[in-house]
Chain A
Amino acid sequence: MTKIEAYEDIPGTTVFDAQRARKGYHLNQFLYSLMSAANRKEFLSGEYAYLKKFPMTEDQRQAVMKRDWNTLLALGGVSYALAKLAFTDEHSYQYMAAEMTGMSQQQYMDMMIAGGRSVEGWRSKKDRGEA
């Protein structure tokens, strides 16, 4: 049995709840390990071998290697931990956020400078015909 949570209706958003945290536990532990410079170096010099040290799913490992950010969210990654992967690649939070939207870095930055994404049209999957 699963409960349908009201926040699942928010479009383009993956709320990091207890079920996702459970699913993403080892993925997030891997990401947490990137807080040390030595680990970042080891990871970059052999990504798959490093990922094998963590008992995560093969899907999660592949999504890490592809830097497939939205899939990583779906597989239980939390954005603040995923950011450590972006930082390891010498990118910023903003870079990762832009990647998740499918916009170019410049388009995303321009949107933010112009005041950000309006909530109009982004409140509900139902209203957007996505549910």
Chain B
Amino acid sequence: MARIIAGVGTSHTPAIGAAVDNGKTAEPYWAPLFKGYEPAKKWIAEVKPDVVIMVYNDHVNAFDFKIIPTFAIGCGDEFPIADEGWGARPVPVVKGYPELASHLVQSLVLDEFDITIVNELQVDHGLTVPMTLLFDSPKAWPVRVIPLAVNVIQYPAPTGNRCYNLGKAIKKAVESWDEDLKVVIFGTGGMSHQIQGPRAGLINKEFDKRFLDGLTKDPEALVRIQPLEYLREAGNEAIELVMWLIMRGALGDKAEEVYRFYHVPASSTGVGNIILETKEFHDQRKGKAAA
């Protein structure tokens, strides 16, 4: 049976991708950020997931405003890299897992989540920057990826509660797939940031810390954060954090934090990275380490 073994929370700031693509990672501005992601890279190289479910948002690249799906799953064989306005990022094409993606859609719709099926999807920095941060710059990505795109651009984004419950339904869907697979789910975007209007540049470190703490200590409290509170307290674009709650919902009641990193700034963003193992996977890893 397939299992979700862990979740990764990470920001997906486009400037991070540009820093890698333009060879700037050793510059003083960027070096602390990339150093902070080293343990996450090492962790994922050790656990070697077979599949990543990438919860992210498109930034007016795959979806213009003709159609705005609240939740969409990429069911294609592969996903090309979008030209967002400065040329496509020079990263490998993203390989999908159409059979499992289609199974997820079927299971989720029957669980009353009305998922949009996307068979042709160009992916943007929302998906590729987390791939680069965790998997570095290989010739081909070492995992298959199921993109789950969430509308956080046109108000309102789905609520935190809805996202958390979707995560729970994803866990159930994955566990009903009869193939031995290790699945890691990513929640991306955030943390505090605002990139528009005279209030641009807003960062709220206390909010971000509370959010990171809450992922293990009290996820139910995070689920109750209302849209207005994200916008007011952590910036207009901080609403992306609801995507981290899909990730958290998919891990079961208890999750163990194994790594955390927080850094300001990347461009206009408070950058967070957290690794949460499911209780079951964590105990199994600890058991192996002890033996």
Check if A25 is an interface residue, CB within 8 A of chain B: yes
A31–B205 Cα distance when bound, in Å, is 33
Chain A residue numbers with a CB within 8 Å of B44 are: none
Residue from A13, A36, A90, A117 in contact with B236 in the complex, judged by beta carbons closer than 8 Å: A13
Task: Report whether B265 and A78 are in contact in the complex, using a CB–CB cutoff of 8 Å.
Answer: no
A123–B228 Cα distance when bound, in Å, is 11
Task: Report whether A101 and B198 are in contact in the complex, using a CB–CB cutoff of 8 Å.
Answer: yes
Chain A residues at the B interface, C-beta cutoff of 8 Å? 6-7, 10-18, 21, 25, 28-29, 31-32, 34-37, 40, 70, 73, 78-84, 86-88, 90, 92-94, 96-98, 100-102, 108, 111-113, 115-119, 122-124
Chain B residue numbers with a CB within 8 Å of A96 are: 195
Chain A residue numbers with a CB within 8 Å of B270 are: 116
Shortest Cβ gap from A130 to chain B (Å): 11
Task: Report whether A112 and B60 are in contact in the complex, using a CB–CB cutoff of 8 Å.
Answer: no
Chain A residue numbers with a CB within 8 Å of B207 are: 119
Residue from B59, B155, B203, B232 in contact with A17 in the complex, judged by beta carbons closer than 8 Å: B155
- Segment with Cβ contacts to A, from B82-90, B91-99, B161-169: B82-90
Known: A87-B86, A97-B268, A115-B264. A11 touches B199 (CB 8 A): yes
Check if B31 is an interface residue, CB within 8 A of chain A: no
- Decide if the interface of chain B is mainly helix, strand, loop or mixed: loop
Residue from A35, A94, A112, A115 in contact with B61 in the complex, judged by beta carbons closer than 8 Å: A35
Shortest Cβ gap from A94 to chain B (Å): 5
A113–B33 Cα distance when bound, in Å, is 13
**1/0 contact string of B43-74 vs chain A (CB within 8 Å):** 00000000000000001110011000000000
Chain B residue numbers with a CB within 8 Å of A92 are: 15, 18, 267
Q: How large is the interface on B (under 10, 10 to 19, 20 to 34, 35 or more residues)?
A: 35 or more
Task: Report whether A93 and B15 are in contact in the complex, using a CB–CB cutoff of 8 Å.
Answer: yes
Please give me the residue from chain A that is nearest to B66 by CB atom: A29
**1/0 contact string of B1-20 vs chain A (CB within 8 Å):** 00000000000001100100
Chain A residue numbers with a CB within 8 Å of B86 are: 87, 90
Please give me the residue from chain A that is nearest to B18 by CB atom: A92
Chain B residue numbers with a CB within 8 Å of A101 are: 197-201
Check if B108 is an interface residue, CB within 8 A of chain A: no
Check if B185 is an interface residue, CB within 8 A of chain A: no
Please give me the residue from chain A that is nearest to B199 by CB atom: A12
Known: A13-B236, A37-B87, A123-B233. A73 touches B197 (CB 8 A): yes
Please give me the residue from chain A that is nearest to B198 by CB atom: A12
Shortest Cβ gap from B12 to chain A (Å): 12
A44–B191 Cα distance when bound, in Å, is 35
Chain A residue numbers with a CB within 8 Å of B233 are: 119, 123
Residue from A21, A36, A88, A94 in contact with B267 in the complex, judged by beta carbons closer than 8 Å: A94
Shortest Cβ gap from A80 to chain B (Å): 4
